[in-house]
Structure formats: structure tokens, C-alpha cells
Amino acid sequence: MKKSFTYLFLVCVIVAVIGGYCFAEDRTIDTTVIFDAVTLTNNMTATSAVINLNQRKPIGFFSLQMNLDGTGVVTSVTYQLSNDGASFSTPVGAANIVSNFTTNSGANSDGNSTYGFTPILSKFMRILAVATGTSVDVTGTLAIQ
């Protein structure tokens, strides 16, 4: 009995080690600047470049770091998905990544904060930021794991 347990334990350890090495690449965090100090004014929308999720092989964790400078308000930051890379839409039931973000938003009231979100399975993604009011510069960095 003790010998069987020892073999079983060793097999479990070997499988865990091999599995860890096989999937180590998938555990990296990939970041992309999607908005680089893009200036938005009243009712303007900034749309990121298309992000090919198939090349990044995400395991489902997404976050967006936002930095604002100026006096405008980013009323909403949303995402759209596509399986063909051409036709994009907001998924049914998807919530905004962030709403009413200002230069006084964030933990330190400095217009800098990070938000997590969970999109459904899709091959392509793009991020949209909509602003109102006077000019605001938007910088956004997307992290995917």
C-alpha cells in the first residue's frame, strides 16, 4: 500500500511539472498601448486598433489601465468583439469597462486607474473610448493573460 502511494505521488508530481512547463508560455502577461495620449473633445470616440486574440492565446484575464489629462470626461470605455476581424459588435449583456472617468478618478484622484473585465470568447477585439466636455488626453494600456 505504501509503495503504491509513493508511485502515485511521483506520477502526480511528474505530471504537474511537465504540465507547468508545457503551459508556462500561456501564463505570460502581454501588454499593448491602445491609446497613446489621444486627444478627445465633446462627443468624440477613439477606437483602438484591432487586437488579434488568437495570436496572444489568452486564458481569460483582461485589464485596462487608463490615464487622463485635461478637463473632459470619458463617459464610457467599452469593448467590441469579432470572429472574422471585419464585423464588430458589443456582446449582449456586456458592461462598460469604465464609465464617467475624469482626471479626478482613480484611487489617488489623479486620473489613473486600472479596471478588469471579462469578455466572452472571440478571435478579435477592439476598445472604444467616448468623451464629452472639453479636451481630454487618453492613454490606455491593455493587459491580457
Tell me the per-residue pLDDT of 37-61, one tens digit each, with 9 for 90 and over: 999 998 999 999 999 998 877 778 9
SS3 content of the chain, % helix, strand, coil (to 5): 20, 45, 35
Q: Is residue 126 part of a domain?
A: yes
The SS3 of residue 3 is helix
**What's the CATH code of the domain at 75?**
2.60.120.660
Within a domain: 64: yes
Round to whole Å and give the CA distance between 114 and 54.
24
Question: What DSSP element (H or E) covers 33?
Answer: strand 30-40
- Which domain does 41 fall in, by range? 29-144
Q: How many domains does the chain have?
A: 1
How many whole angstroms separate alpha carbon 78 and alpha carbon 2?
57
**Residues 76-122: tens digit of each pLDDT:** 999 999 999 999 999 999 999 999 999 999 999 999 999 999 999 99
pLDDT above 70 covers what percent of the chain? 81
Residue 11 lies in a domain: no
Which of 42, 46, 43 has its CA nearest to residue 34?
46
Burial class (CB in 10 A: 0-12, 13-18, 19+), 63: middle
Collapsed DSSP state (helix, strand, coil) of residue 37: strand
